[in-house]
Amino acid sequence: MTQTLTILGLESSCDDTAVGVVRQTGGELPEILASVVYGQAELHSAYGGIVPEIAARAHAEKLDLCVVEALRDAALTLGDIDAIAVTAGPGLIGGVLSGVMCAKGISAATGLPLIGVNHLAGHALTPRLTDAIAYPYLMLLVSGGHCQFLQVNGPDAFTRLGGTIDDAPGEAFDKSARLLGLTQPGGPAIENEARQGDPKRFRFPRPLLDRDDCNLSFSGLKTALLRQRDQIIAVKGGLTQKDRADICAGFQQAVVDVLSKKTQRGIRIYLRDNPAVPSFAVAGGVAANTAIRRGLETVCAENGVAFHAPPLALCTDNGAMIAYAGLELFKAGHRDGLDLMARPRWPLDKTSPAILGSGKKGAKA
Protein backbone atom coordinates (compact mmCIF):
# COMPACT_ATOMS: atom_id res chain seq x y z
CA MET A 1 0.00 0.00 0.00
CA THR A 2 1.29 3.42 -0.87
CA GLN A 3 1.10 5.80 2.04
CA THR A 4 0.25 9.46 1.57
CA LEU A 5 1.30 11.74 4.41
CA THR A 6 0.30 15.38 4.81
CA ILE A 7 2.14 17.34 7.48
CA LEU A 8 1.55 20.83 8.86
CA GLY A 9 4.71 22.69 9.94
CA LEU A 10 4.97 25.75 12.22
CA GLU A 11 8.08 27.94 12.43
CA SER A 12 8.59 30.92 14.77
CA SER A 13 12.18 30.71 16.01
CA CYS A 14 13.42 34.04 14.69
CA ASP A 15 11.68 36.92 12.90
CA ASP A 16 9.46 35.04 10.45
CA THR A 17 6.09 33.60 11.39
CA ALA A 18 5.66 30.75 8.95
CA VAL A 19 3.41 27.76 8.34
CA GLY A 20 3.74 25.19 5.58
CA VAL A 21 1.92 22.10 4.42
CA VAL A 22 3.89 19.30 2.74
CA ARG A 23 2.55 16.08 1.25
CA GLN A 24 4.39 12.98 0.13
CA THR A 25 2.99 9.85 -1.46
CA GLY A 26 5.19 6.77 -1.11
CA GLY A 27 8.71 7.55 -2.29
CA GLU A 28 7.60 10.25 -4.72
CA LEU A 29 9.03 13.76 -4.65
CA PRO A 30 7.33 15.63 -1.80
CA GLU A 31 4.97 18.44 -2.71
CA ILE A 32 4.66 21.80 -0.97
CA LEU A 33 0.91 22.46 -0.80
CA ALA A 34 1.29 25.77 1.05
CA SER A 35 4.00 27.96 2.49
CA VAL A 36 2.90 31.13 4.28
CA VAL A 37 5.63 33.43 5.62
CA TYR A 38 5.09 36.69 7.48
CA GLY A 39 8.33 38.59 8.09
CA GLN A 40 8.78 41.16 10.84
CA ALA A 41 11.53 43.30 9.28
CA GLU A 42 9.63 46.57 9.71
CA LEU A 43 9.01 45.87 13.42
CA HIS A 44 12.74 45.61 14.12
CA SER A 45 14.23 48.09 11.65
CA ALA A 46 14.58 50.94 14.18
CA TYR A 47 16.67 48.80 16.51
CA GLY A 48 19.44 47.65 14.19
CA GLY A 49 18.70 44.01 14.91
CA ILE A 50 16.01 41.61 15.99
CA VAL A 51 14.54 42.42 19.42
CA PRO A 52 13.49 39.06 20.94
CA GLU A 53 10.53 40.45 22.93
CA ILE A 54 9.13 42.27 19.89
CA ALA A 55 9.52 39.10 17.80
CA ALA A 56 7.78 36.96 20.43
CA ARG A 57 4.86 39.38 20.68
CA ALA A 58 4.31 39.30 16.94
CA HIS A 59 4.50 35.49 16.70
CA ALA A 60 1.97 34.94 19.51
CA GLU A 61 -0.78 36.79 17.68
CA LYS A 62 0.03 35.60 14.17
CA LEU A 63 0.70 31.87 14.28
CA ASP A 64 -2.86 30.56 14.38
CA LEU A 65 -3.84 32.97 11.62
CA CYS A 66 -0.96 31.63 9.51
CA VAL A 67 -2.20 28.08 10.09
CA VAL A 68 -5.66 29.06 8.83
CA GLU A 69 -4.15 30.78 5.80
CA ALA A 70 -1.87 27.85 4.94
CA LEU A 71 -4.74 25.37 5.17
CA ARG A 72 -6.84 27.62 2.96
CA ASP A 73 -4.00 27.91 0.42
CA ALA A 74 -3.67 24.12 0.41
CA ALA A 75 -7.48 23.75 0.17
CA LEU A 76 -7.37 21.40 3.17
CA THR A 77 -8.81 21.23 6.67
CA LEU A 78 -7.12 19.96 9.82
CA GLY A 79 -8.99 16.70 9.15
CA ASP A 80 -6.72 16.15 6.12
CA ILE A 81 -3.52 16.52 8.18
CA ASP A 82 -1.61 13.51 9.55
CA ALA A 83 0.68 15.27 12.05
CA ILE A 84 1.65 18.68 13.42
CA ALA A 85 5.37 19.52 13.20
CA VAL A 86 6.74 22.52 15.04
CA THR A 87 10.14 24.13 15.51
CA ALA A 88 11.04 23.33 19.13
CA GLY A 89 14.42 25.09 18.96
CA PRO A 90 17.07 26.32 18.67
CA GLY A 91 16.15 29.99 18.45
CA LEU A 92 14.71 32.96 20.30
CA ILE A 93 12.87 31.19 23.07
CA GLY A 94 9.82 33.48 23.26
CA GLY A 95 8.93 32.83 19.64
CA VAL A 96 9.75 29.11 19.85
CA LEU A 97 7.46 28.82 22.89
CA SER A 98 4.56 30.48 21.08
CA GLY A 99 4.92 28.04 18.20
CA VAL A 100 5.24 25.01 20.46
CA MET A 101 2.19 26.01 22.55
CA CYS A 102 0.05 26.74 19.49
CA ALA A 103 1.04 23.37 18.00
CA LYS A 104 0.29 21.59 21.28
CA GLY A 105 -3.13 23.24 21.35
CA ILE A 106 -3.91 22.07 17.81
CA SER A 107 -2.53 18.60 18.55
CA ALA A 108 -4.55 18.18 21.77
CA ALA A 109 -7.71 19.47 20.10
CA THR A 110 -7.48 17.24 17.05
CA GLY A 111 -5.68 14.22 18.45
CA LEU A 112 -3.04 14.59 15.72
CA PRO A 113 0.50 13.49 16.59
CA LEU A 114 2.93 16.26 17.61
CA ILE A 115 6.50 16.31 16.33
CA GLY A 116 9.13 18.74 17.66
CA VAL A 117 11.58 19.62 14.92
CA ASN A 118 15.07 21.06 15.24
CA HIS A 119 15.04 24.27 13.19
CA LEU A 120 18.49 23.46 11.82
CA ALA A 121 17.32 20.00 10.72
CA GLY A 122 14.61 21.84 8.80
CA HIS A 123 17.28 23.70 6.86
CA ALA A 124 19.56 20.66 6.59
CA LEU A 125 16.83 18.42 5.12
CA THR A 126 15.54 21.02 2.64
CA PRO A 127 17.72 19.62 -0.21
CA ARG A 128 15.74 16.37 0.11
CA LEU A 129 12.47 18.28 -0.07
CA THR A 130 13.51 20.17 -3.20
CA ASP A 131 15.96 17.82 -4.95
CA ALA A 132 15.35 14.42 -3.28
CA ILE A 133 19.09 13.96 -2.77
CA ALA A 134 20.20 10.72 -1.12
CA TYR A 135 21.87 10.28 2.27
CA PRO A 136 24.67 10.81 3.09
CA TYR A 137 25.32 14.29 1.75
CA LEU A 138 27.51 17.17 2.77
CA MET A 139 25.73 20.28 3.94
CA LEU A 140 26.85 23.82 4.52
CA LEU A 141 24.23 25.30 6.79
CA VAL A 142 24.41 29.08 6.94
CA SER A 143 21.23 30.17 8.70
CA GLY A 144 21.08 33.34 10.79
CA GLY A 145 23.45 32.89 13.72
CA HIS A 146 24.51 29.43 12.59
CA CYS A 147 27.24 28.26 10.28
CA GLN A 148 28.34 24.65 10.14
CA PHE A 149 29.43 21.85 7.87
CA LEU A 150 27.34 18.74 8.45
CA GLN A 151 27.37 15.30 7.03
CA VAL A 152 23.68 14.42 6.88
CA ASN A 153 23.24 10.66 7.34
CA GLY A 154 19.51 10.57 8.18
CA PRO A 155 16.64 12.75 9.42
CA ASP A 156 18.03 12.58 12.94
CA ALA A 157 21.66 11.68 12.24
CA PHE A 158 24.10 14.52 11.66
CA THR A 159 27.87 14.61 12.00
CA ARG A 160 29.34 18.07 12.37
CA LEU A 161 32.60 18.42 10.46
CA GLY A 162 33.20 21.97 11.63
CA GLY A 163 31.57 25.32 12.14
CA THR A 164 32.05 28.88 13.24
CA ILE A 165 33.79 29.51 16.53
CA ASP A 166 32.26 33.01 16.88
CA ASP A 167 29.97 34.90 14.48
CA ALA A 168 28.15 33.33 11.56
CA PRO A 169 28.52 34.95 8.12
CA GLY A 170 24.89 36.10 8.34
CA GLU A 171 25.72 38.05 11.51
CA ALA A 172 28.91 39.40 9.92
CA PHE A 173 26.91 40.64 6.93
CA ASP A 174 24.27 42.26 9.17
CA LYS A 175 26.77 43.92 11.50
CA SER A 176 28.94 45.10 8.62
CA ALA A 177 25.94 46.56 6.79
CA ARG A 178 25.08 48.47 9.95
CA LEU A 179 28.62 49.85 10.19
CA LEU A 180 28.33 51.07 6.61
CA GLY A 181 24.88 52.62 6.99
CA LEU A 182 23.25 50.01 4.77
CA THR A 183 19.79 48.52 5.28
CA GLN A 184 18.96 45.27 7.09
CA PRO A 185 19.13 42.40 6.37
CA GLY A 186 22.75 43.07 5.53
CA GLY A 187 23.35 40.23 3.07
CA PRO A 188 21.43 41.58 0.07
CA ALA A 189 22.52 45.17 0.86
CA ILE A 190 26.22 44.26 0.85
CA GLU A 191 25.89 42.04 -2.21
CA ASN A 192 24.25 44.88 -4.06
CA GLU A 193 27.05 47.32 -3.14
CA ALA A 194 29.75 44.74 -3.88
CA ARG A 195 28.56 44.43 -7.47
CA GLN A 196 29.88 47.92 -8.19
CA GLY A 197 33.00 47.57 -6.03
CA ASP A 198 36.60 46.53 -6.54
CA PRO A 199 37.31 43.45 -4.40
CA LYS A 200 41.08 44.02 -4.65
CA ARG A 201 41.30 47.57 -3.26
CA PHE A 202 41.03 46.51 0.38
CA ARG A 203 42.50 43.28 1.65
CA PHE A 204 40.50 41.68 4.45
CA PRO A 205 41.71 38.76 6.60
CA ARG A 206 40.78 35.13 5.85
CA PRO A 207 40.66 33.75 9.42
CA LEU A 208 41.52 30.11 10.19
CA LEU A 209 42.50 29.31 6.60
CA ASP A 210 45.87 28.19 7.98
CA ARG A 211 44.10 25.49 10.01
CA ASP A 212 43.46 22.25 8.23
CA ASP A 213 39.90 21.77 9.52
CA CYS A 214 36.35 22.93 8.76
CA ASN A 215 36.11 25.54 11.52
CA LEU A 216 35.44 29.15 10.63
CA SER A 217 35.62 32.57 12.26
CA PHE A 218 34.01 35.79 11.09
CA SER A 219 34.13 38.23 13.99
CA GLY A 220 37.66 39.40 13.10
CA LEU A 221 36.54 40.10 9.57
CA LYS A 222 33.86 42.46 10.84
CA THR A 223 36.40 44.23 13.08
CA ALA A 224 38.78 44.59 10.13
CA LEU A 225 35.98 46.19 8.15
CA LEU A 226 35.30 48.63 11.00
CA ARG A 227 39.02 49.58 11.12
CA GLN A 228 39.15 50.09 7.37
CA ARG A 229 36.03 52.26 7.52
CA ASP A 230 37.43 54.38 10.35
CA GLN A 231 40.78 54.81 8.57
CA ILE A 232 39.02 56.27 5.56
CA ILE A 233 36.78 58.45 7.73
CA ALA A 234 39.84 59.74 9.65
CA VAL A 235 41.36 60.95 6.38
CA LYS A 236 38.31 62.20 4.47
CA GLY A 237 35.68 62.81 7.14
CA GLY A 238 33.34 60.26 5.57
CA LEU A 239 32.98 57.62 2.88
CA THR A 240 32.37 58.00 -0.82
CA GLN A 241 29.97 55.68 -2.59
CA LYS A 242 33.01 54.07 -4.20
CA ASP A 243 34.75 53.54 -0.84
CA ARG A 244 31.67 51.80 0.47
CA ALA A 245 31.23 49.63 -2.61
CA ASP A 246 34.92 48.64 -2.51
CA ILE A 247 34.74 47.76 1.19
CA CYS A 248 31.68 45.60 0.49
CA ALA A 249 33.36 43.90 -2.45
CA GLY A 250 36.52 43.16 -0.43
CA PHE A 251 34.51 41.92 2.53
CA GLN A 252 32.31 39.67 0.42
CA GLN A 253 35.33 38.26 -1.42
CA ALA A 254 36.89 37.31 1.93
CA VAL A 255 33.71 35.46 2.93
CA VAL A 256 33.57 33.70 -0.45
CA ASP A 257 37.22 32.62 -0.18
CA VAL A 258 36.84 31.28 3.37
CA LEU A 259 33.63 29.39 2.65
CA SER A 260 35.00 27.95 -0.61
CA LYS A 261 38.27 26.80 0.96
CA LYS A 262 36.56 25.24 3.96
CA THR A 263 34.02 23.55 1.69
CA GLN A 264 36.96 22.01 -0.18
CA ARG A 265 38.15 20.53 3.13
CA GLY A 266 34.66 19.38 4.04
CA ILE A 267 34.33 17.58 0.71
CA ARG A 268 37.64 15.81 1.29
CA ILE A 269 36.44 14.47 4.66
CA TYR A 270 33.01 13.54 3.28
CA LEU A 271 34.41 11.64 0.30
CA ARG A 272 36.34 9.34 2.67
CA ASP A 273 32.97 7.65 3.33
CA ASN A 274 32.63 6.84 -0.38
CA PRO A 275 29.06 8.10 -0.83
CA ALA A 276 27.29 6.47 -3.80
CA VAL A 277 26.14 9.80 -5.21
CA PRO A 278 28.49 12.48 -3.86
CA SER A 279 26.34 15.53 -3.17
CA PHE A 280 26.84 18.89 -1.55
CA ALA A 281 24.05 21.27 -0.57
CA VAL A 282 24.06 24.75 0.83
CA ALA A 283 21.06 26.16 2.68
CA GLY A 284 20.25 29.14 4.84
CA GLY A 285 19.85 32.81 4.05
CA VAL A 286 23.52 33.32 3.16
CA ALA A 287 23.17 30.78 0.34
CA ALA A 288 21.12 33.43 -1.42
CA ASN A 289 24.32 35.41 -2.07
CA THR A 290 25.21 34.88 -5.72
CA ALA A 291 28.97 35.27 -5.27
CA ILE A 292 29.03 32.74 -2.44
CA ARG A 293 26.91 30.32 -4.44
CA ARG A 294 29.22 30.63 -7.46
CA GLY A 295 32.32 30.01 -5.31
CA LEU A 296 30.80 26.86 -3.83
CA GLU A 297 29.61 25.60 -7.22
CA THR A 298 33.15 25.89 -8.55
CA VAL A 299 34.61 23.87 -5.68
CA CYS A 300 32.01 21.15 -6.18
CA ALA A 301 32.60 20.97 -9.93
CA GLU A 302 36.36 20.63 -9.33
CA ASN A 303 35.75 17.70 -6.97
CA GLY A 304 33.09 15.84 -8.94
CA VAL A 305 30.42 16.48 -6.33
CA ALA A 306 26.87 17.41 -7.36
CA PHE A 307 25.93 20.90 -6.16
CA HIS A 308 22.48 21.68 -4.78
CA ALA A 309 21.12 24.97 -3.55
CA PRO A 310 17.40 25.07 -2.75
CA PRO A 311 15.47 28.05 -4.14
CA LEU A 312 15.81 31.22 -2.11
CA ALA A 313 12.29 31.08 -0.61
CA LEU A 314 13.21 27.71 0.91
CA CYS A 315 16.68 28.85 2.06
CA THR A 316 15.28 31.47 4.41
CA ASP A 317 13.02 30.47 7.32
CA ASN A 318 9.77 28.82 6.26
CA GLY A 319 7.19 26.36 7.50
CA ALA A 320 7.47 23.93 4.59
CA MET A 321 10.95 22.83 5.69
CA ILE A 322 9.64 22.15 9.21
CA ALA A 323 6.71 20.19 7.78
CA TYR A 324 9.10 18.18 5.61
CA ALA A 325 11.53 17.45 8.46
CA GLY A 326 8.49 16.44 10.51
CA LEU A 327 7.40 14.15 7.70
CA GLU A 328 10.74 12.31 7.69
CA LEU A 329 10.71 12.05 11.48
CA PHE A 330 7.10 10.83 11.42
CA LYS A 331 8.04 8.08 8.96
CA ALA A 332 10.91 7.13 11.28
CA GLY A 333 8.36 6.67 14.09
CA HIS A 334 9.20 9.83 16.00
CA ARG A 335 6.40 11.33 18.18
CA ASP A 336 6.44 13.91 20.97
CA GLY A 337 4.16 14.30 23.96
CA LEU A 338 2.26 17.38 25.11
CA ASP A 339 5.17 18.01 27.48
CA LEU A 340 7.43 18.81 24.48
CA MET A 341 10.06 21.29 25.59
CA ALA A 342 11.07 24.45 23.72
CA ARG A 343 14.86 24.72 23.63
CA PRO A 344 16.87 27.91 23.02
CA ARG A 345 19.91 25.76 22.19
CA TRP A 346 19.83 22.38 20.50
CA PRO A 347 22.95 21.15 18.69
CA LEU A 348 22.22 18.88 15.73
CA ASP A 349 25.26 16.72 16.33
CA LYS A 350 24.70 15.13 19.72
CA THR A 351 28.13 13.55 20.07
CA SER A 352 30.85 15.90 18.80
CA PRO A 353 32.39 18.18 21.46
CA ALA A 354 31.01 21.72 21.58
CA ILE A 355 32.86 24.35 19.55
CA LEU A 356 30.62 27.26 20.50
CA GLY A 357 28.66 28.08 23.65
CA SER A 358 28.83 26.50 27.09
CA GLY A 359 27.73 27.00 30.69
CA LYS A 360 24.16 26.94 31.94
CA LYS A 361 22.63 27.34 28.50
CA GLY A 362 24.68 24.49 27.06
CA ALA A 363 26.37 24.12 23.71
CA LYS A 364 25.16 26.16 20.76
CA ALA A 365 27.00 24.05 18.20
Partner 1 sequence: MTLLPNPLILAFDTSGKWCVAALLSGTRVLAEQVEEMTKGQAERLMPMLTEMLDGAGVTWADLAAIGVGTGPGNFTGIRIAVSAARGLALGLNIPAIGITACEARAFQAPSGACSAIPAPRDMVYLCRHEAPNAPPELMPHGQAQAFAAGKGLSLIAENSPQGLAEAIARIAAKRWQVPQPAPAPLYARAADAAPSRHTAPTMLD
Asked if residue 66 binds partner 1 (CB under 8 A), the reply is no
Asked if residue 198 binds partner 1 (CB under 8 A), the reply is no
User: Residue 35 and residue 161: Cα distance in Å, rounded?
Assistant: 31
How many residues does the structure list for the chain? Answer: 365
Quick one: which of 226, 218, 268 has its CA closest to 247? 226
225 or 283: CB nearest partner 1: 225
From candidates 132, 196, 341, 361, binder to partner 1 by CB under 8 A: 341
CA atoms within 13 A on the CB side of 182: 24
Q: Minimal distance in Å, beta carbon 98 to partner 1?
A: 4
Q: Minimal distance in Å, beta carbon 88 to partner 1?
A: 10
Strand partners for 148? 141, 163
Q: Minimal distance in Å, beta carbon 300 to partner 1?
A: 37
42 or 339: CB nearest partner 1: 339
Asked if residue 344 binds partner 1 (CB under 8 A), the reply is no
What x/- string results for residues 91 through 120 when contact with partner 1 is judged by CB under 8 A?
A: --xx--xxxxxxxxxxxxxx----------
Q: Hey, which residues between 12 and 51 contact partner 1 (CB under 8 A)?
A: 46-49, 51
User: Residue 174 and residue 188: Cα distance in Å, rounded?
Assistant: 10
Asked if residue 306 binds partner 1 (CB under 8 A), the reply is no
What are phi and psi for residue 11, nearest 5 degrees?
-135, 125
Q: Minimal distance in Å, beta carbon 365 to partner 1?
A: 24
From candidates 3, 41, 53, 357, binder to partner 1 by CB under 8 A: 53
Q: Hey, which residues between 203 and 232 contact partner 1 (CB under 8 A)?
A: 229
Asked if residue 338 binds partner 1 (CB under 8 A), the reply is yes
Quick one: which of 203, 211, 14, 228 has its CA closest to 123? 14
Strand partners for 25? 4
From candidates 38, 39, 64, 145, binder to partner 1 by CB under 8 A: 64
211 or 236: CB nearest partner 1: 236
> For the purposes of burial, counting CB atoms within 10 Å of the CB of 362, is it exposed (0-12), middle (13-18) or buried (19 or more)?
middle
Asked if residue 240 binds partner 1 (CB under 8 A), the reply is yes
Binding residues for partner 1, how many (CB under 8 A)? Answer: 51
- Residue-wise DSSP of 265-321: HHHHHHHTT--SS-EEEEESGGGG-HHHHHHHHHHHHHHT-EEE---HHHHSS-HHH
From candidates 165, 179, 271, 363, binder to partner 1 by CB under 8 A: 179
Residues with Cβ within 8 Å of residue 145, at least 6 apart in sequence: 167, 168, 170, 171
Options 32-40, 141-149, 175-183, 306-314: segment touching partner 1 (CB under 8 A): 175-183
Q: Give the pairing of strands 16-25 and 4-11.
A: antiparallel
- Whether residue 334 contacts residue 115, with contact meaning beta carbons closer than 8 Å, is answered with yes
Q: Minimal distance in Å, beta carbon 348 to partner 1?
A: 22
Element holding 358 (H helix, E strand) = none
Binding residues for partner 1, rule: CB under 8 A, are 46-49, 51, 53-54, 56-57, 60-61, 63-64, 67-68, 78, 93-94, 97-110, 178-181, 229, 233, 236-241, 244, 337-342
